[in-house]
Structure 1
Amino acid sequence: MNTSPEGSAAAPKRERAPYDRETVLAIAVALFNERGYEATSMGILAEKLGISKTAIYHHVDSKEQLLELALDIALGSLESVLTRIENFHGGPQEKLEYAIRRSIQVICHKLQFVTLLLRVRGNTDIELSV
């Protein structure tokens, strides 16, 4: 039994789930979509993760970096469809069908990221660069 120097039982240590960069990013993107980028602070993200703000900085440098990573995922995924079309053998109709089908697949698989991409308003340097 754990006891403190005063002899009372010490509270058990709270286990926290380990987070990796991808998990922190996914939760940040969900919060950005729910609350808005501007209204989501690192404190709110830390509370949602159940960790300290300092712990977040082990994964990313800033809130702006989280936004940049998220937008890179959305844009990179959509741009990859265009890159693949260049190597797709078929006529114009088949290429168009392929582009639409693949774009829908990307949107479905990266919905949170694409949603954020569509919601940015150009209020930060990162948003303006998109």
Structure 2
Amino acid sequence: MAPASISPLGEVLHDLLTARTLRERNKELALALVAAVNRGEDDSLTRDWTAPAGPGRRALPAGLRLTVESLLADGDVVVLRATARAGQEAWSLVTEFRFDTAGRIASHHDMLVPEPMAT
């Protein structure tokens, strides 16, 4: 039996489902990175911040915990907004990940801003 051709509507639905699946997978990968950080694992999400401080670099304290505030995905890009806490200190984190087709981080950019101390 010859395969049935897919209608234009079928192609559109297939593309939408494939894109949704990719976005969901990438969001799950970003959440898995957060979970790894919260378990204390050395991870690409915090490696730049936990290395020894040097010129223009700041090392974060041990015991860092991340709380996800929002997570947005579009294609192979995921933007994560979180609160990072260690002891009494807190930072706002915004990071953008681009994942390759195998689910590895292809690029990663972030911004970490100290939150003012509550009085």
Q: Structure 2 length normalisation: TM-score?
A: 0.30
Point out the structure with max Rg over C-alpha: 1
Higher relative contact order (CA 8 A, sep 6+): 1
More helix per residue: 1
More strand per residue: 2
Q: Structure 1 length normalisation: TM-score?
A: 0.28
